[in-house]
Amino acid sequence: MKNSIFFSALLALSFSCSTVDNSETEQAFAMKIRANKHTSTDYNVVGTKYAAATIAMQAAYNRLIYSLKKNEAVSIIAEVDHEKNAKSVGLELNPTRVVFFGNPVLGTPLMQKNQLAGLDLPQHVLFFRNEKMEDYAMYNSVEYLKSRYDLEGVATLEKISGALQNLVSDATKSEIKSASGQTVSYADGIIIKESSQDFESTYSNLQNAILSNPNLKIVAELDHQKNAESVGLDLRPTRIIIFGNPNLGTPLMQDEQTVGLDLPQKMLVYQDENGNVFVAYNDLFYLKERHMLDSSDEQLQMISNALNNLSNAAVGM
């Protein structure tokens, strides 16, 4: 798969409304095409497991939140309502929500084996209602994480797998299904840049680059090392920052809602055993392939270039 980048905006976008009948006809046709891309059993996003909810999406989401809050070992890091964010910039999106949550006792061992795994942590579950009014929940499988980050042998993987399956099955009152492809190659679709700065400076540079852009909003920041220490575990400096721009992310989810599993955008900053510092994030064109996006390469490249600028600012390039 190609390596490029994903999601951010150094450019402000403007939108206008059209009442031309031809435009409305084209939009209706496009919506019909999207509705026919899936059946109730074929969400085939590589590395995912999912459930077709037998109850309304919001009810399923609330059931998951209740279960998470009831578990003292788990912390909810962030809840993102993609539909609400879309409306805030004058765009429409079917109900789409994602919740980020974690348990450092289970997650830290993955990063002890490979800090890069912090890019897909904390765990997150996507809930969405598609064009057919079908409700789903979706999450990254342990098989996906194991292959993408070379986590073979990590003892907590089985517990994570069981916990996710139980949580999502209980929330949706439905059985868990698996995409046909569950594994990818090592570090597939990940852009990694080495920083010329120390860890704190690199993270501050990234944070400031995001904060200085009025189009971007920080959703959450998570210090994986600090969380590890809170449960008596050691971990080298590892932090993730989650941020987004609904002007850019919403059109991708209008194309394929499942990409909401990989949104908002995330960047991981970590220091390895040799003291070298790196910034890692998902390649936009990898996400295009993973979620079968129809977005034009020109549009995606524009977003990729903006994200490249953010990461360059972080590493001192």
Domain assignments of the chain as residue spans, ordered by start? 43-315
**Torsion region of 189: left, alpha or beta (phi above 0 gives left; psi -120 to 50 gives alpha):** left
pLDDT at 34 over 80: no
Minimum mean pLDDT among 17-31, 33-47, 136-150, 152-166: which range? Answer: 17-31
Q: Across residues 247-270, what is the average pLDDT?
A: 97
Distance CA 283, CA 262 (A): 11
pLDDT of residue 115: 99
pLDDT at 271 over 60: yes
Mean pLDDT (whole number) for 120-146: 98
- Residue 3 pLDDT > 70: no
- How confident is the model at residue 46, as a pLDDT? 98
Residue range 178-188: mean pLDDT, rounded: 97
Out of 165-179, 207-221, 292-306, least confident range: 292-306
Distance (Å, whole) CA 251 – CA 255: 6
How much is the pLDDT for 136?
Answer: 98
Ranges 117-121, 245-249, 311-315: which has the least confidence: 245-249
Predicted pLDDT of residue 42: 76
Choice between 28 and 168, residue whose per-residue pLDDT is larger: 168
pLDDT, mean of residues 80-104: 98
pLDDT confidence tier of residue 40, bands split at 50, 70 and 90 = low
Q: What percent of the chain has pLDDT over 70?
A: 87
Q: What is the pLDDT of residue 14?
A: 31
Does the pLDDT of residue 9 top 60, yes or no? no
Q: Which residue has the higher pLDDT, 53 or 41?
A: 53
List, in order, residues 6 or more apart from 183 with CB less than 8 Å away: 47, 143, 144, 146, 147
Closest listed residue to residue 63, CA positions, set 52, 53, 78: 53
How many Cβ atoms are within 10 Å of 59's Cβ, its own excluded? 14
Choices 3.40.1280.10, 3.30.310.70, 1.10.10.10, 3.40.190.10: CATH for 43-315 = 3.30.310.70
CB-based burial of residue 123 (10 Å sphere; 0-12 exposed, 13-18 middle, 19+ buried)?
A: buried
DSSP states of 7-47: ---SS---------HHHHHHHHHHHHHHHTT--TT----TT
Please give the Cα distance from 245 to 148 (Å, whole number): 26
pTM of the predicted protein model: 0.86
Q: With 80 as the cut, is the pLDDT of residue 12 above it? A: no
Averaged pLDDT, 287-304: 91
What pLDDT score was predicted for residue 23? 39
Residue 226 has pLDDT above 70, yes or no: yes
